[in-house]
Amino acid sequence: MIPVNDKPLSKRTPEEVYASHGAALMAEDLDALAANFAEDAVIITPAGVRHGKDGARQNFTQLFSDLPQAEWDMKTTLFGGEILFLEWSATSAENNATHGVDTFVIRDGLIQAQTVRYALTPKSR
């Protein structure tokens, strides 16, 4: 995991979890991404429901397949206590992602739930 500071995981704020998550996303580090999720986390996407750290790995494996080495544009980042709302877009050499929307529930220093949706369009070659 990419640490934000020396705090125990359970003491991290939602903002600190998001910072760690973002650093791991930029590094395309599946283990660090999964480490931010609770063992019983629920991840909901249009493709289905995934669970726990393994579900997080599956989710981000698909994301990195869709958008390898992407440039990310975080359009909206809003915290409401333990809930995080994101709007984003991304571009890679192969695809563009638009209308990206994620929500997270972050409690006890870990992501407990995430929803993800984005529209993927191949780039013209």
Q: The CATH number of the domain where 34 resides is what?
A: 3.10.450.50
Per-residue pLDDT, 5: 57
Per-residue pLDDT, 7: 72
Report yes or no on 56 lying in a domain.
yes
Pairing relation of β-strands 71-80 and 83-91?
A: antiparallel
Per-residue pLDDT, 105: 99
Report yes or no on 82 lying in a domain.
yes
Report yes or no on 78 lying in a domain.
yes
Per-residue pLDDT, 1: 46
Per-residue pLDDT, 2: 46
Report yes or no on 3 lying in a domain.
no
Instruction: Report in angstroms the alpha-carbon separations of 16 from 19, 59, 106, 110.
Output: 5, 21, 10, 10
The pTM of the full predicted model, rounded to 2 decimals, is: 0.91
Q: Phi and psi at residue 3, in whole multiples of 5°?
A: -75, 150
Per-residue pLDDT, 8: 83
Report yes or no on 2 lying in a domain.
no
Tally of domains within the chain: 1
- Stretches where the chain sits below pLDDT 50 are 1-4
Report yes or no on 1 lying in a domain.
no
Range of the domain at 23: 9-122
